Amino acid sequence: MSVQAQLTKGKITLKGSARIVTEFFMYGINSILFQRGIYPVEEFEVKKKYGLDIWVSNDQQVQKYLEKIMQSVEEWLSMGKINKLVLAVNSREARETLERWQFDIQLVDDEEVVAGEKPKPPKSEKALRMEIQAIFRQIAASVSFLPIIEEKCTFNILVYADSDAEVPTTWTDSDPLHIKNAEQVRLRSFSTDAHRVEAMVAYRRDPDLC
């Protein structure tokens, strides 16, 4: 509601933008977990969002985990201390990273308006929704080109934060969980008045295809 209010009022503030981006991450991660079959279909339910049917996990542990992450992410976003959020899909047996869904976050600079020119008009809700819809459609369509995950997998979420960011004690440093022999595909992006989010997926190349 507050996001709606902010959108209707005019230009989105940094805080409102952080909320929008966090919400996008929440639904995006859920959608990826569903599309990539990290958890069984029974643990998902359909919700209407951005004019689409999005599958959201109903597993309490997963939801709790994501909420914890998004709480910190929203805080960092509103302070501009985060530049990347990565969803890494790891195999359980080999403990290797198979896929990396990377969301690059940039702060949109408003001060680049040249004197004499009109300031950029605020982005409409419809335009924003269309951009986010496009990313979700790409996530759904990515199943067609990503390799089939045949082993049991789990996931982890990494946050690339600035070194001077305040980090709660529930967080710890991690390695980047990089992929060996990777290929990558850049997805669409969306931007609010304060943030710009670019999506990208990197995946381990199928050794049989080399």
Partner 1 sequence: MLPSGGEGRAYGETPAAGTERNARQTHNQSAALLPPSTAIRSRFRSITERPPAMTTVRGKKRYMIDDSPNGIGSTRGSAYTQQPSWLAGLETPVRGLSAHTGTSLADTILQPQRLFSYGSPPSGPADAPSPARSILEANQRESEVVGRLETLRRESERAKFELRQVEMERERDREEAQRVRQQLEADVLAQTRRVEKLERDRRWLFEQEDRLAEQRRTIEAELTTQRKKHQTQTDEMSATMHELKQRLDEANRSLRSTRAEHAEKLEAQQQRTAAAEETIARLKAQQDIDKGAGSANDASLQYTVETLKREMRDKDQDIEELQQKLKQLMGSEDASTTVSPSRSRVAQLERDLREQCAYIKAIEQQNRKLGAEVGRLADTAGKYEKERETVIALQAKVQRLEAQQEGRAEIEARLDAMQQEREQWSRVLNDGSDQSRLDSPFAIAKTVASQRHTIRMLESKVTTLQENAESANEHLQSTARDVQLYRQECARLEKEAAIEKHRATQIEQSKQHAVREAEFLRTQLHSYDREEEELMGGNYDRQKAERIRQLELFIDEQRAWISATQPGVAVQDGASSAPSAGADGVSTALLQGYREDAESKQRELEEVKTEHQHLLRRFEDLEKEAARLEHQVGCGLGYNPRTTRILQLIDNPSAQDYAIRSEKLKALAAENEALLERIRLLEKSNENNESDGNSDTPPDDATGAGSAFFHTIDNLRSENQNLTRQLEDSAKLISRYKKEWKKKAAELREVVYLILGYRVDFMSNGSVRFTSMYAAGVDQSFVFTSGDDDQGVMRLSGGGSKTYLKGLTNDIRYWVQERGSIPGFLATVTLQNFEAQADQNSQQQ
Closest contact distance (angstroms) between CB of 37 and partner 1 is 14
Choose between 21 and 202: whose C-beta lies nearer to partner 1. 202
Q: Which of residues 126-165 bind partner 1 (CB under 8 A)?
A: 154-163, 165
Closest contact distance (angstroms) between CB of 134 and partner 1 is 20
Choose between 33 and 128: whose C-beta lies nearer to partner 1. 33
What is the total count of residues that contact partner 1 (CB under 8 A)? Answer: 46
Closest CA to 129 of 54, 56, 34, 74: 54
Choose between 95 and 118: whose C-beta lies nearer to partner 1. 95
Exactly one of 17, 97, 142, 192 binds partner 1 (CB under 8 A); which one? 97
2-9 and 125-141 are packed helices; what angle lies between their axes, rounded to 10 degrees?
Answer: 130
Closest CA to 186 of 117, 134, 125: 134
Give the C-alpha distances (Å, rounded to integers) separating 194 from 109, 191, 197. Answer: 7, 7, 10
Choose between 10 and 176: whose C-beta lies nearer to partner 1. 176
Which structure tokens are listed for 103? 């969301």
Q: Does 92 bind partner 1 (CB under 8 A)?
A: yes
Choose between 16 and 28: whose C-beta lies nearer to partner 1. 28
What 3-state class would DSSP assign to 77?
helix
Residue 112 CB partners (closer than 8 Å, separation 6+): none
Cα 53 from Cα 45, distance rounded (Å): 10
Q: If you count them, how many residues does the chain have?
A: 210
Dihedral sign for Cα 11, 15, 18, 20, please.
negative
Q: Does 179 bind partner 1 (CB under 8 A)?
A: yes
Q: Does 51 bind partner 1 (CB under 8 A)?
A: no
Q: Binding string to partner 1 for residues 3 to 42, with x set by CB under 8 A, is what?
A: -------------------------------------xxx
Closest contact distance (angstroms) between CB of 151 and partner 1 is 13
Closest CA to 190 of 142, 109, 125: 125
Residues that bind partner 1 (CB under 8 A): 40-43, 61-62, 65, 68-69, 83-84, 86, 88, 90, 92, 95, 97, 100, 102, 154-163, 165, 167, 170-180, 182, 184, 200, 202
